[in-house]
Structure 1
Amino acid sequence: MRVVLVSPYPDITAFGVRGISASLRASGVDTRLVFLPDPLGDALRELPERYPPAVLDDLLALCADADLVGVSLMTNYVDNAVQITRAVKARLDVPVLWGGIHPTIRPAECLETADMVCVGDGEEAILDVCRALAAGKPVDAIANIQTRRPDGTVAANPVRPLARDLDALPPPDWSHQDHHIWDGGDRIVPLTPDRTRKFLARGTLSRVLGRVGYQTMTDRGCPHRCTYCVNDAVKALYGAKGYLRWRSVEHVIAELEDAVRRMPFIGYVWISDDAFFARPLATIREFCRQYKERIGLPFTCLGSPATITPEKMDALVDAGMIYLQMGVQSGSARIQALFGRQSMGNDKILAAMAVINSYKDRMLPPSYDIILDTPYEVPADRLETVRFISRIPKPFRLQLFSLVLYPGTKLAAMAAADGLLTDERRQVYAKSYTMRVPDYLNFLTLLAKDGWFPSRLLAFLASGPVVAVLGSRVFSPVWRPAFAASGPAWRLVKRILGRP
């Protein structure tokens, strides 16, 4: 068997295809990885044809000897997957399987294009598909796999129990063996370690840190049930009990040792678990002990206000953590409840920030996530968030995300029922979190983005009389060009002030 796995994501880390490749290879299945980074990146728009003909020709040549083609996708990359799949099916007699979060949430929609869809975890399911194809047997009764019958109905098989022992799975495939990439040129080329280094160096966090980063995950799942997040939808699929699973410390450290050996240019490790701090304190301390002894590189991770403690921070900073990202999302109690985060109110957020801030001399400024453009917000909610931002201890950075109502989330279902989500194509599939509404209150959050804008001035600009004037319709034409000019303007101001 030979399986070609295709990733359309801008980020070549692509946990899904790398993990599937490693698992299939461990079971004796030959794999080939093809990375087709979306040329639009975060600048999404209506552009169904992402790839030029020459690139598709190269892709088809790489798929010509395949027994199965797999495509991984999230909602924003449906167009990529459709273009890839139509090209394969037009010229090759090879079945195409889609996997990832969007097929998990919308299998019937995906089966309008793909031959098969993997719902949920894919390692065991795709191996079963390979074995069935090799034996000439049907694939319509494999758990986690859905297909469309000849009469047009969907064979919706149940999901199998979650894999509990994540250590039984091999680490992601970074071997560079039969890996290929479209690097923006005319053709698909081999993905060599040097090309990997260049791609990883382009990452936002790598640019901030001035180092090439290696991204990993030590868990699957999340302890929280935020209504805007697809994790909640997947929990509903499997049942919340046991959904959050961790790899052992030894398994993670062994992966990192292998990655550093293969790619000696790695300058830091990015642990991208949704809530790394949710691990028990004893496990974090053991991780820190082994990481310090066996890896020794700077690292970054994510936390939540409910899980950050002084004891965990102390262990992690001592082991080399230099940067931390934490979700704040809103300063409004009403919106926090809407998001399912009422247990992480402003007092708890500020307490976590105080703990983080106590390490400011040993870390880079932390990054706090803020969600903008929630359709249920009223001006008072948004003002609460801006005023809350003015209370954040410096230094810090903000990551500003325009809300995307992804399929399967509770918030998307609510918005659709209330008539606030009427055009999924425009409002979801072709929307990026960077597409912030250019109005006065969002401009205030933009002013605070780098954390050095004077807090008292920010609070004054968010006061009732000022908002009544600058937030009025009279000034609304000002804010779109202000957004467009903000990037170059702030870079100039920071250069003048000598700020990073």
Structure 2
Amino acid sequence: MSDFRVLLIYPNQRAESLVPPSIAMFSRLLKNHGYEVDLFDSSFYDLDADDYIAQMDSSGSGQGDGIEVVKSKGDAKSLIQNCLVRPYESKADSLRKHEGAVEVLTRKVEGFQPHLIAVTSTESTVLLAMQLLKAVRHHRIPTILGGVFATFAPERAIDFTEVDMICVGEGEAALLDLCERMQAGKGYDDVTNLWIKKKSGDIIRNPITTPVDVDQLPTLDIEIFEEGRYYSPMYGKLYRMLPVETHRGCPYTCSYCNSPSQDVFYKEQTGGKFFRKRSMEKVRKDILYFRDVLKMNYVNFWADTFFAYSAREFDAFCEMYSEFKLPFWCCTRPETVTAERIKKLQDVGLHMISFGLEHGNEEFRRDVVKRPYPNSMAIEAFKIVKKAGVHFSVNNIIGFPGETRELANDTIEINRQFEADQMSCSIYQPYYGTSLRKVAVDQGYLDTDTICPANSGATVMDMPDFTSDQLKGLRRTFAMYVKFPKARWKEIQIAEQLTPEGDKVWENLQQEFIATFFSTPETDITEKGGPIPATMSESAPTAPV
């Protein structure tokens, strides 16, 4: 065991969310190379002032205009309240530590005494990450920030006073190289993918290396997380659910997503392709370990587009997964669906599938959202899934740049033409690395330096034709417009208003909606037909590799 210690920090805002594969991968790689690793995961801890962190400006200095960072403890609760997901028996309250995140992190740093603190964050969690780092900055431990925010907003990321280095692009090779250099007392100014801030304030910007070979990566170190983090909700139940990577990246070019920018970035920087697929044998190996050692009873295939397989690859997956037949969730696009594919997946365990629809106006969806398929194709795909008896959810977004309340009606109308088991209605956030962010800035809806919250938050754009209150009102009534008959729409329009009268009508409609449409399944899917093997597989690995 090396005497070099790395503390990983995961600034998470949701208690019952999926274990992050990136943190688990970094932990396994570091441990495999002999480094000592510990983790601080903020999921179960309270933040300062319990619900928010205030007075952080865009530089992270704690001075200036002040940005309120909301810790959405009740993201799932708000989705249930907005009638977007089925109620379920949450364990979050029983798992909450009732201790301040900053206090616990400080104790961990003082006890573990790491030589490096590594943080991965999204744009919506980067200010939370900075608040945590600020609390331990006086220990003068080198810090590195990675993730999509550091990749697509590197100038903003390196400017935080709490950050010494950032990783631009994938971090598996860079983090190992950095730790090796630091442990040996060697210089690390030339580590690929890293931007390094010198004491003078100068920034060293190193070149990007080719994408990693995903088949050479080891099994995730899920065990670094507390066991309570293994549980996530799906269709009204909590499952012992773990993430399995099948694809990295996405072959499509949606304008609200940063996956297309990963492809462009790596092609320009290295000539390589960001979109990759893992071999079925590697996927099988992960599932085998998670099932037999960690007792996983539900698989989350978290690829952007799970159906991005050739016919041969698709059949190979089904053959491989027939060994397990654990219930699983995946996400894909409407135009990738066929009855044959759904049947094959259903035969090996498909429990629930999510689709990105995003907008109901064909022209707007084609020209702005960059999803060029006709409504008829999407509706037919959803009907195929419904006929097969597979649970499915449909993702919708409101508040795109230039969208109006009238255009959003088209999204309501198309959702009324099929019977989704669940739906989402997110407010668009113009994240760094998405092509729509530039549109939002160019049209004057967004300040250039704005850092966006989670898509469960309010809009950060100023659109005169679709105000923040209009968006919040529509989000909380979206499912009601879809599910209730049009004869109730005048009533729902009142509930859409953020007024005392509107709140009262909304609360009554919400209770009626849940009672009518969300009868929670009585039987856990993992109890049907005994899909979880009673005995351990003889070929199960005893340790991750």
Alignment correspondent of 1:145: 194
Does the 8 A contact of 1:49 with 1:83 survive in 2? no
Please tell me whether the aligned partners of residues 426 and 475 of structure 2 are also in contact (alpha carbons under 8 angstroms): no
Selected match of 1:322 from 351, 354, 358: 351
Selected match of 1:157 from 203, 206, 213:
206
Q: TM-score, normalised by structure 1?
A: 0.82
Partner of 2:145: 98
Partner of 1:225: 253
Instruction: Pick closer, same or farther for the CA change 1:480–1:239 going to 2, 3 Å.
Output: farther
The residue number in structure 2 matching 1:3 is 6
Q: 1:152 deviation in Å?
A: 2.1
**Inter-partner Cα distance in structure 1 for 2:199 and 2:140:** 17
TM superposition shift of 1:137? 2.1
1:38 to 1:332, Cα distance in 2 relative to 1, 3 A: farther
What are the ranges of 5 or more consecutive residues in structure 2 without an aligned counterpart?
A: 55-67, 72-99, 460-467, 523-545
- The 8 Å contact of residues 45 and 430 in structure 1, kept in 2 or not, is answered as no
Question: In structure 2, the residue corresponding to 1:446 is in which secondary structure?
Answer: helix
Deviations 1:365-401, CA, capped at 9 Å, x for gaps = 3100000122311233112111111111x25321111
Deviation at 1:237, TM superposition (A): 1.5
Counterparts of 1:3 and 1:441 in 2: how far apart (Å)?
45
| Equivalent residue, structure 1, for 2:532 | none
* In 1: Cα distance, 2:406 partner to 2:500 partner: 22
CA contact (8 A) 2:116 2:142 kept: yes
Query: Structure 1 residues 355 and 45, CA, compared in 2 at 3 Å: closer, same or farther?
Result: farther
Match of 1:85 in 2: 133
Deviation by residue 1:259-301 (Cα, 9 ceiling, x = unmatched)? 112222x2211111110101112222222222122x2311111
1:335 aligned onto 2:364 = yes
Shift of 1:251: 0.4
The 2-side partners of 1:474 and 1:108 are apart by: 40
Does the 8 Å CA contact 2:495/2:502 hold for their aligned counterparts?
no
Does the 8 Å CA contact 2:11/2:41 hold for their aligned counterparts? yes
Q: Percent of aligned positions with the same letter in both sequences?
A: 22
Unaligned residue ranges in structure 1 (runs of 5+): 181-190
Residues in 2 aligned to 1:485 and 1:60: alpha-carbon distance in whole angstroms? 48
- CA distance in structure 2 between the aligned counterparts of 1:152 and 1:311, rounded to whole angstroms: 59
What are the within-5 Å matches in structure 2 for residues 60-139 of structure 1? 60-64=109-113, 66-90=114-138, 92-111=139-158, 112=160, 113-139=162-188
- 2:287 aligned partner: 256
Q: Distance in 1 between matches of 2:493 and 2:514?
A: 24
Tell me how far 1:26 sits from its aligned partner.
Answer: 2.3
The answer to whether the 8 Å contact 1:23/1:170 transfers is: yes
CA distance in 2, matches of 1:498, 1:231: 34
Distance 1:289 1:383, change over 3 A: same
**Contact (CA 8 Å) 2:45, 2:101: kept in 1 or not?**
no
- TM (normalized to structure 2)? 0.76
Higher relative contact order (CA 8 A, sep 6+): 2
Between 53-62 and 138-147, the greater mean CA deviation after superposition: 53-62
Give the AA of the match of 2:28: A
Structure 2 partner of 1:405: 430
Structure 1 partner of 2:397: 371
Contact 1:12 1:35 in 2 (8 A): no
Q: 1:13 to 1:494 in 2, by over 3 A?
A: same
- Match 1:246 to one of 257, 260, 277: 277
Pick one of 424, 440, 461 that aligns with 1:415.
Answer: 440
> CA offset at residue 17 of structure 1?
1.1
Of residues 333, 346, 350 in structure 1, which corresponds to 2:375? 346
How much does 1:480 deviate? Answer: 5.0
User: Contact 2:30–2:37 (CA<8 Å) still a contact in 1?
Assistant: yes
Matches of 1:322 and 1:159, distance apart in 2: 39
Deviations 1:104-139 (A, max 9, x none): 112222222211101111010111101111222222
Aligned residue in 2 for 1:186? none
Q: Distance in 2 between matches of 1:76 and 1:475?
A: 25
Assess, with a 3 A threshold, how the Cα gap between structure 1 residues 304 and 378 changes in structure 2: closer, same or farther: same
Give the match's secondary structure for 1:358: helix
Aligned residue identity for 2:40: V
Structure 2 CA distance for aligned equivalents of residues 173 and 120 of structure 1: 21
Distance 1:380 1:432, change over 3 A: closer
Residue in structure 2 matched with residue 16 of structure 1 by the alignment: 22
Q: Secondary structure of 2:335's partner? A: coil
Q: Distance in 2 between matches of 1:487 and 1:217?
A: 36
Matched, 1:173 2:224: no
Contact preservation (8 Å) 1:48, 1:83: no
Please list the CA deviations of residues 187-215 of structure 1 after superposition, one character each: whole Å capped at 9, or x if unmatched: xxxx3xxxx1x3333x332x624432222
* Deviation, structure 1 residue 148: 1.6
Indicate if the aligned counterparts of 2:174 and 2:193 stay in contact, CA closer than 8 A.
yes
Provide the C-alpha distance between the structure 1 equivalents of 2:359 and 2:517, rounded to a whole number of angstroms. 27
Written as runs of structure 1 = structure 2, the 5 A alignment for 1:24-43 is 24-37=30-43
Match among 461, 466, 479 for residue 446 of structure 1: 479
Q: In structure 2, the residue corresponding to 1:277 is in which secondary structure?
A: coil
1:473–1:224: structure 2 CA closer, same or farther, 3 Å change rule? closer
- The 1-side partners of 2:28 and 2:498 are apart by 55
| Matched position secondary structure for 1:211 | strand
The one-letter amino acid of 2:302's match is: S
Contact 1:332/1:381, CA 8 A, preserved across alignment? yes
* 1:158 shift after superposition: 1.6
Partners of 1:380 and 1:12 in 2: how far apart?
A: 35
Question: How many residues get paired?
Answer: 457
Deviation of the 1:343 alpha carbon: 2.0
The CA distance in 2 between the partners of 1:21 and 1:256, in whole Å, is 18
Residues 253, 291 of structure 1: 8 Å contact kept: yes
Relative distance call for 1:39 and 1:329 in structure 2 (3 A) is farther
Aligned-partner SS, 2:204: strand
Alignment check: 8 A CA contact 2:301 2:328 kept: yes
Tell me if structure 2 keeps the 8 A contact 1:225–1:231.
yes
CA positional deviation for 1:478? 4.8
| Counterparts of 1:483 and 1:375, CA distance in 2 | 27
- The aligned runs of 1:447-466 (5 Å cut-off) are 447-448=480-481, 453-454=483-484, 457-458=485-486
Q: Counterpart in 2 of 1:188? A: none
RMSD: 3.1
| Letter matched to residue 218 of structure 1 | T
